[in-house]
């Protein structure tokens, strides 16, 4: 099977690309290597597999219709794992147009060309943030008409667009609403890398909300297995929560990082708007439909990330000031 992975140089996209290559799939990867975060990290993310015989890299933007169509013309794509997106609630509210243009137009372009080329399956990376102020645990049938930022609104728009492509043009679509991911190559602006760098190098970790706020963390391996299931056993149109159903407070996350590293972490409080107080996935539907069954605990996730982190080059481990903001 030949799979198109968009955002292949990002955190999840690069892990997913490597996962597929290790399982024998052919992968065509698209990434525009933008500066949402340091492009040097994205180049680093693909360094271990960019010369793989079954991998083809296209330095292309999914909003560039001419360049994107060329990718479809030159490759017999059978499935699409769509992970290219501008992420982050706070950042999206500061620059709505960039998030709307890239996340919505890019998704529509991919879906349109997938239909024209008869692509068999389309997996869309969505976010738990679409649930907004709903009560937990979040269930797929809940209304998602009240997102708390431009980023989740753009993801909701993508879900709706893909429903239309599915109903109007018979595109098989699986929407995966991911809850907070942990794994190798984790984006530098996310909590775990910041905590580990704070522990290792004495940086100060910024708390954007109170330590009793909680998140449902998900290990990358479980996420990749869910993507593979959506591609190889496609649905007409389904939405699935991919989380652990076990919210962890920020206090517990901080203590886990200190426990795993054996070092104390300095903190400072600086509230940000648009932050959800708690996230928690009801994963019953995913368990029924694709056999989804997460097993890795928070400390195990933290240990796996820390072990991987310690093996990386010094420039990556130490990071730069912009990565810690």
Are residue 154 and residue 255 in the same domain, yes or no? no
Tell me if 288 is assigned to some domain. Answer: no
Tell me if 292 is assigned to some domain. Answer: no
- Token pair 């500066």: residue: 35
Helix (H) or strand (E) holding 264, with range, is none
Query: What pLDDT, in 10s, does the model give residues 213-244?
Result: 899 999 999 999 999 999 999 999 999 999 99
d(CA 321, CA 267): 16
Query: What pLDDT, in 10s, does the model give residues 118-161?
Result: 999 999 999 999 999 999 999 999 999 999 999 999 999 999 99
Its domain, for residue 264, covers: 191-213+247-279+297-324
Average pLDDT, the chain: 94
Token digits of residue 221: 């391996």
Are residue 128 and residue 175 in the same domain, yes or no? yes
- Distance, CA of 1 to chain centre: 22
Contact in structure between 247 and 216 (CB atoms under 8 Å): yes
Are residue 228 and residue 259 in the same domain, yes or no? no
Tell me if 156 is assigned to some domain. Answer: yes
Q: What angle do CA 226, 228, 229 make, to 5 degrees?
A: 65
d(CA 62, CA 74): 15
Give the 3-state secondary structure of residue 204: strand
Question: What does pTM read for this prediction?
Answer: 0.95
Are residue 229 and residue 310 in the same domain, yes or no? no
Are residue 131 and residue 259 in the same domain, yes or no? no
Are residue 16 and residue 121 in the same domain, yes or no? yes
Would you call 305 a catalytic residue per the annotation? no
Other beta carbons within 10 angstroms of residue 274's beta carbon come to: 18
CATH number at residue 256: 3.90.25.10
Are residue 131 and residue 197 in the same domain, yes or no? no
Are residue 223 and residue 107 in the same domain, yes or no? yes
The percentage of the chain sitting over the pLDDT mark of 70, rounded to a whole number, equals: 98
d(CA 161, CA 188): 30
Given the residues 19, 86, 151, 305, the one annotated as active site: 151
pLDDT of residue 209: 75
């Amino acid at each position: 099977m030949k799979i198109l992975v968009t955002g292949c140089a990002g955190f999840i996209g690069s892990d997913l690309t490597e996962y597929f290559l290790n399982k024998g799939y052919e992968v065509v990867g698209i990434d525009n290597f933008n500066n949402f975060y340091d492009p040097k990290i994205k180049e680093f993310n693909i360094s271990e597999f960019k010369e793989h015989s079954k991998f083809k890299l296209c330095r292309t933007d999914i909003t560039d219709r001419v360049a994107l169509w060329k990718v479809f013309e030159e490759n017999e794509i059978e499935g699409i794992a769509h992970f290219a997106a501008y992420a982050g609630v706070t950042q999206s509210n500061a620059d709505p147009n960039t998030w709307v243009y890239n996340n919505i137009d890019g998704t529509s372009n991919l879906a349109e060309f997938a239909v024209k080329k008869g692509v068999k399956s389309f997996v869309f990376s969505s976010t738990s943030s679409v649930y907004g102020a709903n009560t937990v645990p979040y269930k797929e049938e809940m209304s998602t008409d009240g997102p708390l930022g431009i980023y989740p609104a753009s993801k909701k728009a993508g879900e709706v667009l893909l429903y239309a492509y599915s109903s109007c043009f018979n595109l098989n679509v699986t929407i995966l609403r991911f809850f907070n991911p942990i794994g190798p190559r984790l984006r530098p602006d996310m909590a775990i890398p910041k905590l580990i760098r704070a522990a290792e190098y004495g940086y100060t970790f910024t708390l954007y909300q109170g330590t009793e706020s909680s998140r449902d963390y998900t290990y990358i391996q479980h996420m990749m297995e869910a993507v593979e299931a959506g591609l190889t056993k496609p649905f007409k149109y389904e939405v699935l929560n991919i989380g652990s159903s076990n919210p962890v407070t920020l206090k517990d996350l901080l203590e886990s990082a200190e426990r795993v590293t054996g070092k104390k972490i300095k903190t400072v409080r600086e509230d940000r708007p648009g932050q959800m107080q708690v996230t928690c996935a009801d994963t019953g539907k995913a368990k029924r439909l694709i056999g989804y069954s997460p097993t890795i605990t928070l400390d195990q996730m933290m240990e796996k990330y820390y072990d991987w982190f310690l093996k990386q080059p010094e420039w990556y481990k130490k990071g730069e000031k912009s990565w810690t903001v």
